[in-house]
Amino acid sequence: AGSVRRDKRGVLTVGGRDVLALAEEFGTPAYFLDEDDFRARCRAWRDAFGEGADVYYAGKAFLSRAVVRWLTEEGLNLDVCTGGELATALSAGMPAERIALHGNNKSTQELERAIEAGVGRIVLDSFQEIARAAHIARRLGRRQPVQLRVTVGVEAHTHEFIATAHEDQKFGLPLAEGQAAEGVRRVLGLDSLELTGIHSHIGSQIFDTSGFEVAAHRVVGLLAQTRDEHGVELPEIDLGGGLGIAYTSADDPAEPSAIARSLAQIVDRECASAGLAVPRLSVEPGRAVVGPTAFTLYEVGTLKPLEGLRTYVSVDGGMSDNIRTALYDAEYSVALASRTSEAPPMLSRVVGKHCESGDIVVRDAFLPADLAPGDLLAVPATGAYCRSMASNYNHVPRPPVVAVRDGEARTIVRRETEEDLLRLDVG
Ligand code: LLP
C-alpha cells in the first residue's frame, strides 16, 4: 500500500500506525486498508478517464459501507452483481443512478429492487433476462436504461489472450453466433427498456491491452451493425474491468492514465473506421483500485522445518481469509512485519490453520531463519477478492477490515465472532 513503511524500530506502519499497536488493538488475522491510498487510486482512475467517461468500481473485489462512501465522495460509480451488493450500496447512500447491476442470473427480486431503486444501468445477460427485466419495468411503470453484455470471443488473463470463435462460458450473448445482434433487436423492440450500449468484460489480472483492442473492435462492429439494421447509434460502450496489479515484484502494471489513453485511442480509431460518433466509454476496475491498498496481518504460530525441503510457517488464518492461492495458484509475497532481522533467509511456505494441505497462503518465500512464534507477518496486496471471498471453513470467524488514515485506525467490517457463527445454527 502507498503509505506502508517501517518506523525507526523496523516495525511496519500503515497510515501512521505501526502493526504492533494495530495487532494489539484489533487482533490478528486482520486486513489493514490504507484509506488515503484507496482514495488516491479512485482519483487516479477518475482523472485518467476524465469527464467524457465513467469509472465503475467493481464491488465484488471488496465492498463495505465505508467503501461506498469513499467511492461516492471520490466521484466513482459502482458495479454490483447481487442484491446483497446493491443493498450495501443503497444503504450507504450511493445515488442509484450511479449504480450498475450485473450478473448472469439475477433473480426477479434483484431486478425489481434495482428497477424500483432507479439504478442507472442494468447489464442484461440473456434472452430470458431481457424479457424478465422488460416485464418488471413495465409493471413498475419505468423505462429502465440497460446495456447488453456480449461475449466477444476473447479471453484474456495476464500476459496472453486467446481468441476463439465462440466462448464456452456462461456470461453474455455471443457475438459470433448472431445472438448479440438478436439481443439488440429484442431490447430495441421493448418500450420499457432503453438500450444505451454494449458491454464486454474479457477477464482479470490483465497486463496487456491487446485483448481490449480485439474486444473494442468487435463491440464497435456491433454498434455499426445496429446503426445499419435499426438506424440507431447506441451512445455507450463498457469495456469491463480486469486491469492487473503487482502481487509480487515480477508484475509491472500500467498506470490508469496510460490505460485510459490506450483504451480511448482504440475506441476512437475503431469508431472512426466504422464512421460512428465516439460513444461514452466506461470501465469497471475492481482489483486495480482496492487490491494494493490492503495487507493481511497474521501472527506466526508453529514452525516446522523439513530437512532438505523448507520450513512450514503456520499463521493464525489461511484459506478462509485468502482462498486465492489455493484456488488460482495465485502468488503473494510476505514480510516479517513486527521487527527486522539480520538472520539468513530460510526457504519457507506460509500456511494456514485449516485442516487440509492445500491451505497455503504464500507458496514460496524467504523469511529470516530466526522467525519465531509470536512474530507478525504481512501479506501485501490482499485488498481485492480476499475478504470478499472469505469463508467460515472449519468454523473460523472471518477477520475484520480496518481502515487506517492519518494515525487513526477504525474498523469498517468487524471481526466475526463465535456467536455470529452460532446464531445461524438453529438446530
Ligand atoms: N466487471 C465485470 C463484469 C466483472 O465480471 C469483473 C470481475 C470486473 C468488472 C472486475 O474485474 P477486476 O478489475 O477486479 O479484475 N475472484 C477472482 C476474480 C474474479 C473476477 C470476476 N469478475 C480473483 O480473485 O482473481
Per DSSP, the three-state class of 363 is: strand
CA distances (Å), 202 to each of 25, 155, 167, 205, 218, in order? Answer: 42, 5, 11, 10, 12
369's grid cell: 531463519
The residue written with cell numbers 495476464 in the block is 158
Question: Identity (one letter) of the amino acid at 334?
Answer: V
Q: Which residues are catalytic?
A: 355
Distance from the alpha carbon of residue 416 to the mean position of ligand 1, in angstroms: 25
Give the model's pLDDT for residue 65.
Answer: 98
Do β-strands 53-58 and 77-80 pair in parallel, antiparallel, or remain unpaired? parallel
Band (pLDDT 50/70/90 cuts) for residue 162 is confident
ipTM for the whole complex: 0.99
Residue ID of nearest Cα to ligand 1 atom 18: 204
The answer to whether 253 and 216 have CB atoms below 8 angstroms apart is: no
Instruction: Evaluate: CB of 157 within 6 angstroms of ligand 1.
Output: no
HSE-up (13 A, CA, CB side) for residue 183: 30
Taken in order of first residue, the domains within the chain and their CATH numbers are 5-33+291-424 (2.40.37.10), 36-290 (3.20.20.10)
**pLDDT, average across residues 13-34:** 98
- Output the nine-digit C-alpha cell for 152: 466477444
**Distance from the first to the final alpha carbon of the chain:** 44
Numbered residues of the known binding site = 242, 284-287, 324, 328, 356, 385
Q: What is the mean pLDDT of residues 143-156?
A: 95
Q: Which residue, among 249, 264, 164, 157, has the nearest Cα to 207 in the 3D structure?
A: 157
pLDDT recorded at residue 203: 93
Question: Is 287 a pocket residue for ligand 1 (Cβ < 6 Å)?
Answer: yes
* Per-residue confidence (pLDDT) for residue 169, from 0 to 100: 86
pLDDT value for 166: 65
Chain centre distance of CA 361: 19
* Ligand 1 pocket member 241 (CB < 6 A): yes
Which parts are annotated binding residues for pyridoxal 5'-phosphate? Answer: 242, 284-287, 385
Say which residues have a Cβ less than 8 Å from residue 371's Cβ, sequence separation at least 6: 300, 303, 311, 313, 336, 341, 343, 346, 348
Per-residue pLDDT tens for 200-239? 999 999 998 899 999 999 999 999 999 999 999 999 999 9
- Is the minimum distance from the CB of 240 to ligand 1 under 6 angstroms? yes
Sign of CA dihedral 369, 375, 380, 384: positive
284 CA → ligand 1 middle, Å: 9
| Residue to substitute in 204, 247, 263, 332 for testing ligand 1 pocket (most ligand atoms within 8 angstroms of CB) | 204
Could you give the angle at which helices 65-74 and 35-49 cross, rounded to 10 degrees? 40
pLDDT digits (tens, 9 = 90+) for 383-414: 999 999 999 999 999 999 999 999 999 999 99
Q: Which amino acid is at 112?
A: E
Q: Is the CB of 288 under 6 A from ligand 1?
A: yes
The pLDDT score that the predictor gives to residue 1 is 45
Cα dist. 127→114, 143, 408 in Å? 19, 18, 50
Q: Are strands 160-163 and 154-158 parallel, antiparallel or unpaired?
A: antiparallel
Q: What is the pLDDT of residues 267-309, one digit of tens each?
A: 999 999 999 999 999 999 999 999 999 999 999 999 999 999 9
Q: How many CB atoms are located within 10 Å of the residue 91 CB?
A: 10
Alpha helix stretches (DSSP H) within 157-290: 179-188, 210-230, 256-274, 287-290
How far is C-alpha 144 from the geometric centre of its chain's CA atoms?
A: 26
Please state the rounded mean pLDDT for residues 50-75.
97
Greatest pairwise CA separation for the chain in angstroms: 72
